[in-house]
Protein backbone atom coordinates (compact mmCIF):
# COMPACT_ATOMS: atom_id res chain seq x y z
CA UNK A 1 0.00 0.00 0.00
CA UNK A 2 1.23 3.53 -0.80
CA UNK A 3 2.25 5.56 2.21
CA UNK A 4 0.32 8.81 2.64
CA UNK A 5 2.34 11.86 1.62
CA UNK A 6 2.48 14.66 4.20
CA UNK A 7 3.97 17.93 2.97
CA UNK A 8 4.82 20.68 5.47
CA UNK A 9 5.44 24.16 4.07
CA UNK A 10 7.65 26.45 6.11
CA UNK A 11 10.02 25.59 8.96
CA UNK A 12 9.01 28.39 11.31
CA UNK A 13 7.69 27.64 14.79
CA UNK A 14 4.51 25.91 13.62
CA UNK A 15 6.07 23.97 10.73
CA UNK A 16 9.18 22.72 12.49
CA UNK A 17 7.28 21.62 15.59
CA UNK A 18 4.78 19.75 13.38
CA UNK A 19 7.69 18.03 11.62
CA UNK A 20 9.68 17.15 14.74
CA UNK A 21 6.58 15.85 16.56
CA UNK A 22 5.61 13.74 13.56
CA UNK A 23 9.06 12.20 13.38
CA UNK A 24 8.65 11.18 17.03
CA UNK A 25 5.15 9.78 16.52
CA UNK A 26 5.14 8.05 13.13
CA UNK A 27 7.48 5.36 11.91
CA UNK A 28 9.17 5.74 8.52
CA UNK A 29 6.84 3.23 6.89
CA UNK A 30 3.64 4.91 8.07
CA UNK A 31 4.00 8.13 6.06
CA UNK A 32 6.27 9.94 3.61
CA UNK A 33 6.94 13.31 5.20
CA UNK A 34 8.47 16.26 3.33
CA UNK A 35 9.41 19.60 4.88
CA UNK A 36 9.97 22.56 2.54
CA UNK A 37 11.65 25.78 3.62
CA UNK A 38 13.23 28.72 1.80
CA UNK A 39 16.45 28.48 3.77
CA UNK A 40 18.50 25.64 5.13
CA UNK A 41 17.91 27.05 8.61
CA UNK A 42 15.09 27.61 11.08
CA UNK A 43 15.15 30.92 12.88
CA UNK A 44 13.61 32.25 16.05
CA UNK A 45 11.47 35.07 14.74
CA UNK A 46 11.00 36.27 18.31
CA UNK A 47 14.71 37.21 18.45
CA UNK A 48 14.86 39.10 15.16
CA UNK A 49 14.52 42.52 16.81
CA UNK A 50 17.82 41.81 18.59
CA UNK A 51 19.51 40.97 15.29
CA UNK A 52 18.03 44.11 13.73
CA UNK A 53 19.28 46.33 16.55
CA UNK A 54 22.68 44.64 16.45
CA UNK A 55 22.59 43.38 20.05
CA UNK A 56 22.64 39.70 19.02
CA UNK A 57 24.41 38.10 16.08
CA UNK A 58 22.04 36.47 13.60
CA UNK A 59 23.90 33.14 13.82
CA UNK A 60 22.63 32.83 17.38
CA UNK A 61 19.07 33.11 16.11
CA UNK A 62 19.21 30.53 13.36
CA UNK A 63 19.89 26.83 13.47
CA UNK A 64 20.41 24.21 10.84
CA UNK A 65 17.20 22.34 10.06
CA UNK A 66 19.28 19.20 9.52
CA UNK A 67 20.31 19.36 13.20
CA UNK A 68 16.75 18.78 14.38
CA UNK A 69 15.20 16.50 11.79
CA UNK A 70 15.79 12.82 11.26
CA UNK A 71 16.54 12.33 7.54
CA UNK A 72 15.36 8.74 7.67
CA UNK A 73 11.89 10.03 8.53
CA UNK A 74 11.73 13.49 6.96
CA UNK A 75 12.81 14.55 3.53
CA UNK A 76 13.94 18.18 3.77
CA UNK A 77 13.78 20.29 0.60
CA UNK A 78 15.32 23.74 0.57
CA UNK A 79 13.19 25.64 -1.92
CA UNK A 80 10.66 28.45 -2.17
CA UNK A 81 6.95 27.73 -2.42
CA UNK A 82 5.44 29.75 -5.25
CA UNK A 83 1.90 28.36 -5.46
CA UNK A 84 -0.47 26.11 -3.56
CA UNK A 85 -3.04 24.26 -5.70
CA UNK A 86 -5.48 22.65 -3.28
CA UNK A 87 -7.84 21.39 -6.01
CA UNK A 88 -4.96 19.39 -7.55
CA UNK A 89 -3.40 18.49 -4.15
CA UNK A 90 -0.20 19.98 -5.42
CA UNK A 91 2.39 22.56 -4.36
CA UNK A 92 4.60 24.42 -6.83
CA UNK A 93 8.16 25.26 -5.81
CA UNK A 94 10.76 27.31 -7.65
CA UNK A 95 12.51 24.09 -8.64
CA UNK A 96 9.71 21.56 -8.95
CA UNK A 97 6.33 20.35 -7.75
CA UNK A 98 5.10 18.18 -4.91
CA UNK A 99 1.91 16.15 -4.56
CA UNK A 100 0.37 15.60 -1.16
CA UNK A 101 -2.29 13.65 0.64
CA UNK A 102 -2.06 16.00 3.62
CA UNK A 103 -0.70 19.52 3.56
CA UNK A 104 0.43 21.67 6.50
CA UNK A 105 0.90 25.35 5.71
CA UNK A 106 3.24 27.15 8.10
CA UNK A 107 4.51 29.97 5.92
CA UNK A 108 4.29 32.65 8.59
CA UNK A 109 3.59 36.33 8.27
CA UNK A 110 4.23 39.29 6.00
CA UNK A 111 4.35 42.95 6.86
CA UNK A 112 0.98 44.74 6.56
CA UNK A 113 1.33 48.39 5.59
CA UNK A 114 -2.40 49.23 5.48
CA UNK A 115 -1.92 51.12 2.23
CA UNK A 116 0.20 53.85 3.86
CA UNK A 117 1.96 55.65 1.05
CA UNK A 118 5.65 54.93 0.62
CA UNK A 119 6.03 52.42 3.47
CA UNK A 120 6.60 49.43 1.20
CA UNK A 121 9.22 51.33 -0.77
CA UNK A 122 11.07 53.21 1.96
CA UNK A 123 10.60 51.47 5.31
CA UNK A 124 12.31 48.38 6.65
CA UNK A 125 10.44 45.60 8.40
CA UNK A 126 11.74 42.98 10.84
CA UNK A 127 10.47 40.02 8.87
CA UNK A 128 13.35 37.57 8.39
CA UNK A 129 17.01 37.02 9.22
CA UNK A 130 18.12 38.88 6.11
CA UNK A 131 15.70 41.76 6.70
CA UNK A 132 17.04 42.09 10.26
CA UNK A 133 20.65 42.02 9.03
CA UNK A 134 19.86 44.75 6.54
CA UNK A 135 18.46 46.99 9.29
CA UNK A 136 21.52 46.46 11.49
CA UNK A 137 23.92 47.18 8.62
CA UNK A 138 21.92 50.21 7.55
CA UNK A 139 21.97 51.76 11.03
CA UNK A 140 25.71 51.09 11.36
CA UNK A 141 26.34 52.61 7.95
CA UNK A 142 24.24 55.70 8.77
CA UNK A 143 26.25 56.29 11.94
CA UNK A 144 29.52 55.70 10.07
CA UNK A 145 28.60 58.42 7.54
CA UNK A 146 27.88 61.05 10.18
CA UNK A 147 31.23 62.83 10.31
CA UNK A 148 31.61 62.95 6.53
CA UNK A 149 28.15 64.31 5.76
CA UNK A 150 27.28 68.03 5.34
CA UNK A 151 25.90 69.49 8.58
CA UNK A 152 22.37 70.06 7.23
CA UNK A 153 22.02 66.35 6.36
CA UNK A 154 23.53 64.90 9.52
CA UNK A 155 20.59 64.85 11.93
CA UNK A 156 18.53 62.45 9.85
CA UNK A 157 21.37 59.91 9.89
CA UNK A 158 21.01 59.70 13.66
CA UNK A 159 17.20 59.63 13.73
CA UNK A 160 15.64 56.17 13.86
CA UNK A 161 11.87 55.95 13.55
CA UNK A 162 9.95 52.89 14.66
CA UNK A 163 6.36 52.68 13.43
CA UNK A 164 4.22 50.91 16.02
CA UNK A 165 4.29 50.61 19.80
CA UNK A 166 2.92 47.07 19.85
CA UNK A 167 4.94 44.07 20.92
CA UNK A 168 7.50 44.09 18.09
CA UNK A 169 7.95 47.87 18.07
CA UNK A 170 8.53 48.04 21.83
CA UNK A 171 10.92 45.08 21.87
CA UNK A 172 12.89 46.67 19.04
CA UNK A 173 13.17 50.14 20.63
CA UNK A 174 14.26 48.44 23.85
CA UNK A 175 17.17 46.79 22.04
CA UNK A 176 17.98 49.96 20.09
CA UNK A 177 18.13 52.00 23.28
CA UNK A 178 20.78 49.57 24.55
CA UNK A 179 22.70 49.52 21.27
CA UNK A 180 22.85 53.25 20.60
CA UNK A 181 25.41 54.09 23.33
CA UNK A 182 27.72 51.41 21.85
CA UNK A 183 27.28 52.82 18.35
CA UNK A 184 27.96 56.34 19.58
CA UNK A 185 31.18 55.19 21.21
CA UNK A 186 32.20 53.32 18.08
CA UNK A 187 31.62 56.28 15.75
CA UNK A 188 32.56 59.18 18.10
CA UNK A 189 29.04 60.55 18.25
CA UNK A 190 27.43 62.40 21.15
CA UNK A 191 24.53 60.25 22.46
CA UNK A 192 22.35 63.34 22.85
CA UNK A 193 22.33 63.82 19.09
CA UNK A 194 20.62 60.45 18.47
CA UNK A 195 16.82 60.19 18.34
CA UNK A 196 14.80 56.98 18.64
CA UNK A 197 11.22 57.96 17.90
CA UNK A 198 8.40 55.45 18.37
CA UNK A 199 5.21 56.51 16.56
CA UNK A 200 1.89 54.88 17.39
CA UNK A 201 -1.52 55.70 15.94
CA UNK A 202 -3.47 54.11 18.80
CA UNK A 203 -3.98 56.13 21.98
CA UNK A 204 -1.76 53.78 24.00
CA UNK A 205 1.46 51.78 24.00
CA UNK A 206 1.17 47.96 24.01
CA UNK A 207 -2.60 47.69 23.69
CA UNK A 208 -3.96 44.75 25.69
CA UNK A 209 -1.14 44.83 28.25
CA UNK A 210 -1.71 45.62 31.90
CA UNK A 211 -1.65 49.48 32.26
CA UNK A 212 0.69 49.36 35.26
CA UNK A 213 3.21 47.31 33.25
CA UNK A 214 2.83 49.63 30.27
CA UNK A 215 3.64 52.65 32.47
CA UNK A 216 6.75 50.86 33.68
CA UNK A 217 7.82 50.07 30.11
CA UNK A 218 7.30 53.63 28.86
CA UNK A 219 9.11 55.17 31.78
CA UNK A 220 12.08 52.77 31.46
CA UNK A 221 12.37 53.38 27.72
CA UNK A 222 12.04 57.15 28.09
CA UNK A 223 14.86 57.07 30.63
CA UNK A 224 16.99 55.44 27.93
CA UNK A 225 16.13 58.24 25.52
CA UNK A 226 13.20 56.84 23.51
CA UNK A 227 10.66 59.49 22.40
CA UNK A 228 7.04 58.37 22.09
CA UNK A 229 4.53 59.95 19.74
CA UNK A 230 1.28 58.32 20.73
CA UNK A 231 -2.07 58.90 19.02
CA UNK A 232 0.01 59.93 16.03
CA UNK A 233 -0.47 58.31 12.64
CA UNK A 234 2.17 57.86 9.97
CA UNK A 235 0.59 59.34 6.86
CA UNK A 236 3.43 58.85 4.45
CA UNK A 237 6.94 57.52 4.29
CA UNK A 238 9.37 59.11 1.89
CA UNK A 239 13.04 58.72 1.02
CA UNK A 240 13.70 61.45 3.58
CA UNK A 241 11.61 60.29 6.52
CA UNK A 242 7.95 60.29 7.53
CA UNK A 243 4.98 62.62 7.66
CA UNK A 244 2.85 62.13 10.75
CA UNK A 245 -0.49 63.59 11.82
CA UNK A 246 -1.98 64.13 15.25
CA UNK A 247 -5.47 65.57 14.92
CA UNK A 248 -5.25 68.44 12.46
CA UNK A 249 -1.52 68.91 12.86
CA UNK A 250 1.03 67.33 10.59
CA UNK A 251 4.79 67.12 11.01
CA UNK A 252 7.66 65.87 8.91
CA UNK A 253 10.38 63.94 10.74
CA UNK A 254 13.51 63.49 8.68
CA UNK A 255 15.13 60.13 9.14
CA UNK A 256 17.48 57.80 7.31
CA UNK A 257 15.95 54.77 9.04
CA UNK A 258 12.25 54.01 9.28
CA UNK A 259 11.33 50.56 10.61
CA UNK A 260 7.70 49.55 10.26
CA UNK A 261 6.65 47.25 13.09
CA UNK A 262 2.95 47.96 13.29
CA UNK A 263 1.21 45.25 11.42
CA UNK A 264 1.40 41.72 10.09
CA UNK A 265 -0.79 39.62 7.84
CA UNK A 266 -0.72 36.00 6.77
CA UNK A 267 1.43 34.81 3.88
CA UNK A 268 0.00 35.98 0.53
CA UNK A 269 0.27 32.44 -0.91
CA UNK A 270 -2.56 31.35 1.38
CA UNK A 271 -5.00 33.84 -0.13
CA UNK A 272 -3.71 33.10 -3.62
CA UNK A 273 -4.53 29.41 -3.08
CA UNK A 274 -8.19 30.43 -3.15
CA UNK A 275 -8.88 29.91 0.58
CA UNK A 276 -11.20 32.43 2.16
CA UNK A 277 -8.92 34.65 4.18
CA UNK A 278 -8.83 37.93 6.10
CA UNK A 279 -5.50 39.71 5.63
CA UNK A 280 -3.97 36.42 4.55
CA UNK A 281 -5.25 34.53 7.60
CA UNK A 282 -7.70 31.65 7.23
CA UNK A 283 -10.32 31.12 9.92
CA UNK A 284 -9.49 27.46 10.52
CA UNK A 285 -11.76 24.75 11.90
CA UNK A 286 -11.38 23.65 15.51
CA UNK A 287 -8.91 20.94 14.44
CA UNK A 288 -6.81 23.47 12.46
CA UNK A 289 -8.02 22.63 8.95
CA UNK A 290 -9.13 24.92 6.15
CA UNK A 291 -12.95 24.87 5.93
CA UNK A 292 -13.94 22.68 2.99
CA UNK A 293 -10.42 21.20 2.67
CA UNK A 294 -10.07 18.27 5.07
CA UNK A 295 -6.55 17.55 3.82
CA UNK A 296 -5.13 21.04 4.46
CA UNK A 297 -3.99 22.25 7.90
CA UNK A 298 -2.65 25.71 8.72
CA UNK A 299 -0.36 26.49 11.65
CA UNK A 300 1.02 29.79 12.91
CA UNK A 301 0.43 33.31 11.68
CA UNK A 302 -1.57 32.35 8.58
CA UNK A 303 -4.23 30.70 10.75
CA UNK A 304 -6.96 32.79 12.33
CA UNK A 305 -8.49 31.63 15.60
CA UNK A 306 -11.21 33.40 17.50
CA UNK A 307 -10.96 33.74 21.27
CA UNK A 308 -14.50 32.90 22.31
CA UNK A 309 -14.16 34.79 25.60
CA UNK A 310 -14.04 38.17 23.86
CA UNK A 311 -14.98 37.14 20.31
CA UNK A 312 -11.74 38.59 18.93
CA UNK A 313 -8.92 36.89 17.04
CA UNK A 314 -6.01 35.63 19.11
CA UNK A 315 -2.92 37.68 18.29
CA UNK A 316 -0.44 35.81 16.10
CA UNK A 317 2.28 34.56 18.44
CA UNK A 318 5.05 32.00 18.53
CA UNK A 319 3.48 30.54 21.65
CA UNK A 320 0.30 29.69 19.74
CA UNK A 321 2.15 28.54 16.60
CA UNK A 322 4.17 26.05 18.68
CA UNK A 323 1.07 24.66 20.39
CA UNK A 324 -0.64 24.33 17.02
CA UNK A 325 2.34 22.32 15.75
CA UNK A 326 1.75 19.77 18.54
CA UNK A 327 -1.98 19.65 17.80
CA UNK A 328 -1.60 19.22 14.04
CA UNK A 329 1.05 16.51 14.42
CA UNK A 330 -1.33 14.61 16.68
CA UNK A 331 -4.25 15.01 14.27
CA UNK A 332 -2.14 13.92 11.30
CA UNK A 333 -1.04 10.78 13.13
CA UNK A 334 -4.71 9.98 13.84
CA UNK A 335 -5.62 10.44 10.17
CA UNK A 336 -2.66 8.44 8.89
CA UNK A 337 -3.36 5.55 11.25
CA UNK A 338 -7.12 5.77 10.91
CA UNK A 339 -7.53 5.39 14.63
CA UNK A 340 -7.76 7.65 17.66
CA UNK A 341 -9.56 10.94 18.13
CA UNK A 342 -8.86 14.23 16.38
CA UNK A 343 -8.18 16.92 18.97
CA UNK A 344 -9.64 20.40 18.89
CA UNK A 345 -7.11 23.16 19.37
CA UNK A 346 -7.44 25.60 22.24
CA UNK A 347 -4.52 27.91 23.01
CA UNK A 348 -3.13 27.54 26.50
CA UNK A 349 -1.73 31.00 27.16
CA UNK A 350 0.78 30.61 29.95
CA UNK A 351 1.84 34.22 29.88
CA UNK A 352 3.31 36.99 27.78
CA UNK A 353 6.64 38.70 28.30
CA UNK A 354 7.75 41.73 26.33
CA UNK A 355 11.45 42.53 26.54
CA UNK A 356 12.76 46.07 26.93
CA UNK A 357 16.34 45.13 26.10
CA UNK A 358 18.35 42.13 27.32
CA UNK A 359 18.24 43.28 30.95
CA UNK A 360 14.66 44.46 31.39
CA UNK A 361 11.14 43.33 30.49
CA UNK A 362 7.51 43.33 31.53
CA UNK A 363 5.17 40.38 31.58
CA UNK A 364 2.39 38.38 33.08
CA UNK A 365 3.37 34.75 33.69
CA UNK A 366 0.93 32.28 35.22
CA UNK A 367 -1.21 35.28 36.19
CA UNK A 368 1.64 37.04 38.01
CA UNK A 369 2.88 40.48 36.94
CA UNK A 370 6.63 40.79 36.52
CA UNK A 371 8.98 43.67 35.71
CA UNK A 372 12.73 44.21 35.44
CA UNK A 373 15.24 41.37 35.74
CA UNK A 374 12.60 38.88 36.91
CA UNK A 375 10.59 39.36 33.71
CA UNK A 376 13.75 39.34 31.63
CA UNK A 377 14.85 36.10 33.33
CA UNK A 378 11.45 34.53 32.52
CA UNK A 379 11.76 35.59 28.88
CA UNK A 380 15.07 33.75 28.59
CA UNK A 381 13.65 30.69 30.34
CA UNK A 382 10.77 30.65 27.80
CA UNK A 383 13.24 30.95 24.91
CA UNK A 384 15.43 28.16 26.26
CA UNK A 385 12.42 25.94 26.91
CA UNK A 386 11.47 26.20 23.24
CA UNK A 387 14.96 25.10 22.20
CA UNK A 388 14.74 22.21 24.64
CA UNK A 389 11.41 21.08 23.15
CA UNK A 390 12.82 21.39 19.65
CA UNK A 391 16.24 19.80 20.03
CA UNK A 392 16.86 18.74 23.64
CA UNK A 393 19.58 19.91 26.05
CA UNK A 394 22.35 20.03 23.41
CA UNK A 395 20.43 22.61 21.41
CA UNK A 396 19.92 24.71 24.54
CA UNK A 397 23.66 24.60 25.20
CA UNK A 398 24.44 25.50 21.58
CA UNK A 399 21.87 28.22 20.91
CA UNK A 400 20.24 29.07 24.23
CA UNK A 401 20.42 32.26 26.27
CA UNK A 402 22.53 30.89 29.05
CA UNK A 403 23.36 34.21 30.64
CA UNK A 404 19.99 34.39 32.37
CA UNK A 405 20.46 37.69 34.20
- How many Cα atoms sit within 13 Å of 63 on the Cβ side? 21
Task: Give how many residues touch ligand FAD by CB under 6 A.
Answer: 34
| C-beta of residue 321 within 8 angstroms of C-beta of residue 333 | no
Toward ligand FAD, which CB reaches closer, 146 or 260?
Answer: 260
* Separation CA 281–CA 159 (nearest Å): 34
Toward ligand FAD, which CB reaches closer, 184 or 261?
Answer: 261
Helix (H, G, I), strand (E, B) or coil at 331: helix
Q: Given candidates 8, 31, 48, 84, which one binds ligand FAD under the rule CB under 6 A?
A: 48
Query: Known catalytic residue: 171?
Result: yes
| C-beta of residue 240 within 8 angstroms of C-beta of residue 246 | no
Q: Given candidates 244, 318, 356, 370, which one binds ligand FAD under the rule CB under 6 A?
A: 318
Stretch that binds ligand FAD, among 278-286, 312-320, 332-340, 369-377 (CB under 6 A): 312-320
Check 50, 171, 175, 200 and give the catalytic one.
Answer: 171
**Residue 95 C-beta: closest distance to ligand FAD, Å:** 11
271 binds ligand FAD (CB under 6 A): no
Going through 188-319 in order, the beta strands assigned E by DSSP cover 195-200, 226-230, 233-238, 241-246, 249-254, 257-260, 264-266, 282-283, 289-290, 293-298, 303-304, 306-307, 312-313
356 binds ligand FAD (CB under 6 A): no
Report DSSP state, residue 32.
Answer: E
* Strand 102-105 versus strand 293-298 pairing type: parallel
DSSP track, 355-370: ESSTT-EEEEETTEEE
80 binds ligand FAD (CB under 6 A): yes
Toward ligand FAD, which CB reaches closer, 189 or 330?
Answer: 330
Stretch that binds ligand FAD, among 21-29, 104-112, 200-208, 252-260 (CB under 6 A): 104-112
Q: Given candidates 8, 31, 81, 214, which one binds ligand FAD under the rule CB under 6 A?
A: 81
| C-beta of residue 373 within 8 angstroms of C-beta of residue 360 | yes
167: enclosing H helix or E strand: helix 167-187
Report DSSP state, residue 46.
Answer: G
380 binds ligand FAD (CB under 6 A): no
Question: Which pairs count as long-range contacts for 53-61, CB under 8 Å and 24+ apart, including other chains?
Answer: 53/135, 53/136, 53/139, 53/172, 53/175, 53/176, 53/178, 53/179, 54/136, 54/139, 54/140, 54/179, 54/183, 55/175, 55/178, 55/179, 55/357, 55/358, 58/129, 58/132, 58/133, 60/399, 61/129, 61/132
319 binds ligand FAD (CB under 6 A): yes
Toward ligand FAD, which CB reaches closer, 108 or 263?
Answer: 108
Toward ligand FAD, which CB reaches closer, 244 or 299?
Answer: 299
| C-beta of residue 175 within 8 angstroms of C-beta of residue 55 | yes
Q: Given candidates 25, 39, 144, 149, which one binds ligand FAD under the rule CB under 6 A?
A: 39
Stretch that binds ligand FAD, among 7-15, 224-232, 289-297, 360-368 (CB under 6 A): 7-15
* Separation CA 355–CA 26 (nearest Å): 38
Cβ contacts of residue 290 below 8 Å, gap of 6+? 86, 275, 282, 284, 296, 297, 298
Q: Given candidates 12, 164, 166, 280, which one binds ligand FAD under the rule CB under 6 A?
A: 12
108 binds ligand FAD (CB under 6 A): yes
**Residue 108 C-beta: closest distance to ligand FAD, Å:** 2
Q: Given candidates 6, 7, 8, 13, which one binds ligand FAD under the rule CB under 6 A?
A: 13
Nearest-CB residue to ligand FAD? 12
168 binds ligand FAD (CB under 6 A): yes
213 binds ligand FAD (CB under 6 A): no
Q: Given candidates 289, 301, 333, 361, which one binds ligand FAD under the rule CB under 6 A?
A: 301
Q: What residue ranges bind ligand FAD (CB under 6 A)?
A: 10-15, 36-39, 45-46, 48-49, 80-81, 106-109, 126, 167-168, 171, 267, 269, 299-301, 316-319, 321
- Active site (catalytic) residues: 171
Amino acid sequence: MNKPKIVILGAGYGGIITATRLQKTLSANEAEITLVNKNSYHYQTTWLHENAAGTLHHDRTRLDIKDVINPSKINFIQDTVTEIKPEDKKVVLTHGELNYDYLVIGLGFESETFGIKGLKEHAFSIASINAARQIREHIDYSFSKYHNTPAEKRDELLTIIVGGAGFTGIEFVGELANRVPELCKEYDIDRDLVRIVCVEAAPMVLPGFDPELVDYAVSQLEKKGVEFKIGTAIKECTEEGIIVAKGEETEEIKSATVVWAAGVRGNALVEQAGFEAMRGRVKVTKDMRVPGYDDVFIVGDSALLIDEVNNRPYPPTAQIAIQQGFNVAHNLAVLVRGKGELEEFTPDIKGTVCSLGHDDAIGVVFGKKLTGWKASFMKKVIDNRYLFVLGGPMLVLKKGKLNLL
